[in-house]
Structure 1
Amino acid sequence: MDINAYIESGILELYVAGKLSETENQEIYELLQQHPKLLQEVIEIEGAVLKLTAAVSPRAKGFESIKARLEAEDTKVVQLQPRQTNWISYTGWAASILLAAGLFWTLNQNTDLEQQLQTADIENQYLETQIEDARTDLAATKNLLNVIRDKDIIAVPLGGQGDFASSFAKVYWNKADNTIYLDAEGLPNAPEGKVWQVWSLTLNPLTPTSLGTIDDFNTDDNKIFTIANANESQAFGITLEPEGGSDGPTMEQLYTLGVVASAP
């Protein structure tokens, strides 16, 4: 479709003036929705007419001369009817203005609806993710409860030591699968540059074996950690060590210690 040729045909002026049939009006209305340039042309035509009618009344002195000049310049202006009353003359313009306003409202409503649908879709995706995370957390919680309630589980309380008497932790040791579940809620966040390190101990002679560091302690909300332990542990301890861990425990930084009940 040649947009410029369509504009120059003068049909948009007739559309604005309300001089077309219902079928033609519908066709142009649909084109306005498809072609922003046509819509802008309609708006400009209406603006020009409004300025003209605001400045010149059909009964005002000099109206005929102004009308003659406009016709002489071959300007695309819909013929005005000076013999009719103002209300009748401007009914077509008012209707076209309302139509354009309605079209703008419809376009804006469609844009708002699309934005609302996009927002709702994002919110639904977020909600689905939250639900899935909750289900995962619930499954993990149920699994943990089943583990610590097992009749063969060994529970080892770890009490605070020395200057850290207020600290505490608890180990749940499942010897069947060589796993311990460490509940470290009673430990403070590790200072910058430090990490918590967990130790398996044998007592005679005292021999510590590192079970690793808890690098994500500060960011973990539950403070429950699963740690592999294939050792014949007689005790467990937790020390505060430099990042990366230590080969042996720093005894001055021994926060908690607990002896396995069955140990001699």
Structure 2
Amino acid sequence: MNTKEYIESGSLELYVYGILNESETEEITELAKTSPAVMNEIISIEKAIINLTSSFSPNISAENFEKIKAKLQLKHVKVVKMKSKSNISQYLGWVASIALLLGIGYQYNELNNSNVKINSIETEKSNLQKSIVELELKNKDNATALNVIRDSKNTVVALAGQAVAPTSFAKIYWNKETSTVYVDATGLPNPPEGKVYQIWSLKLSPTLTPTSIGLLDNFKANDPKLFTVSGTRDADAFGITLEPAGGSVSPTMDQLYTLGKV
């Protein structure tokens, strides 16, 4: 056979697999030494086998696998002769090896897919648990707000907007027996960065005397905008001012947002 016939006959594939008899192996070995086309075809077949096995070799380190591949890709200066055995047995051995590699690759991919699914389920579970906790906290806040509003012992004081914020409003729920004070701040805008709302209990006579009873901290995070502040037993009015973070000793009157008499 000429070079083209050798390439098209499939004999070179059998040569690479090592399942030709001794005379056929020697014939192709000698031809590969003198024919670049035959040599290139042999190298091409071996590369195809390398590429196939490299995609299904999870248990071989990258460094060792590259060493094996490099050895197979060396220029052919000598072909190792295989002892003549049954062609059918050798062929079946190669088929079994390839089937094993494919099976290992399939199982490896399935394992990876399973791990991805498990991680996804764990993430969804974590997010669900977080949502449940947030919902429970929100329900608790809502229940507290309803209890405050429905408590007949609470005195409700409406705070109207002042010059700096005429559209603002708030409500004070004051239990005089327990001195408990709740602030409904739904009518106040979010405070600017570095600022905080401060609540003042006011005595109007004999002179105006303001007393700080708390800050509306974490304003943006408080969805119901219902705050519990320090209690008071004696107040003629309540006011809310905008102060620097941390609060002030006395109210900044030009930043008085709401005011209301008891």
TM-score of the alignment, normalized to the shorter chain, above 0.5: yes
Instruction: Check the 8 A contact 1:58/1:81 in 2, yes or no.
Output: no
Offset, 1:63: 2.2
Quote the residue 2:178 is aligned against: 177
Describe the superposition over 1:81-134 as per-residue Cα deviations: whole angstroms up to 9, x where unpaired.
Answer: 45x6xxx86343223212211112112212331232133123213312321221
Aligned pair 1:58/2:15, yes or no? no
Matched residue count? 202
Aligned pair 1:198/2:208, yes or no? no
Where do 1:25-64 residues align within 5 Å?
53-54=15-16, 58=20, 62-64=24-26
Where do 1:112-191 residues align within 5 Å?
112-191=113-192
Distance 1:143 1:213, change over 3 A: closer
**Aligned-partner Cα distance in 1 for 2:181–2:215:** 14
Instruction: Check the 8 A contact 2:145/2:226 in 1, yes or no.
Output: no
**Aligned-partner Cα distance in 1 for 2:152–2:83:** 95
Aligned pair 1:98/2:93, yes or no? no
What percentage of aligned pairs have identical amino acids? 42
Distance 1:53 1:227, change over 3 A: farther
Deviates more, 1:111-120 or 1:180-189: 111-120
**Aligned-partner Cα distance in 1 for 2:111–2:80:** 39
SS of structure 1 residue aligned to 2:187: coil
Residue identity matched to 2:94: W
Distance 1:69 1:162, change over 3 A: closer
Distance 1:69 1:247, change over 3 A: closer
Residue identity matched to 1:116: K
Quote the residue 1:3 is aligned against: none
**TM-score of the superposed pair, with normalisation by structure 2:** 0.66
Instruction: Check the 8 A contact 2:201/2:232 in 1, yes or no.
Output: no
Distance 1:55 1:122, change over 3 A: closer
SS of structure 2 residue aligned to 1:164: coil
**Aligned-partner Cα distance in 2 for 1:212–1:224:** 13
Instruction: Check the 8 A contact 2:157/2:171 in 1, yes or no.
Output: yes
Describe the superposition over 1:197-223 as per-residue Cα deviations: whole angstroms up to 9, x where unpaired.
Answer: 110112223211111222322443332
Distance 1:80 1:221, change over 3 A: farther
SS of structure 2 residue aligned to 1:70: coil
Describe the superposition over 1:151-175 as per-residue Cα deviations: whole angstroms up to 9, x where unpaired.
Answer: 1121111110123111111111223
Residue identity matched to 2:91: Y
Describe the superposition over 1:56-97 as per-residue Cα deviations: whole angstroms up to 9, x where unpaired.
Answer: 8838984245599634xxxxx585545x6xxx8634322321
* Structure 1: stretches of 5+ with no match in the other structure: 1-49, 72-76
**Aligned-partner Cα distance in 2 for 1:193–1:147:** 30
Residue identity matched to 2:246: G
Distance 1:51 1:259, change over 3 A: farther
Quote the residue 2:256 is aligned against: 254
Distance 1:218 1:142, change over 3 A: closer
Residue identity matched to 2:261: V
**Aligned-partner Cα distance in 1 for 2:21–2:96:** 22
* Structure 2: stretches of 5+ with no match in the other structure: 1-11, 31-77
Quote the residue 2:243 is aligned against: 241
RMSD across aligned C-alpha pairs, in angstroms? 3.1
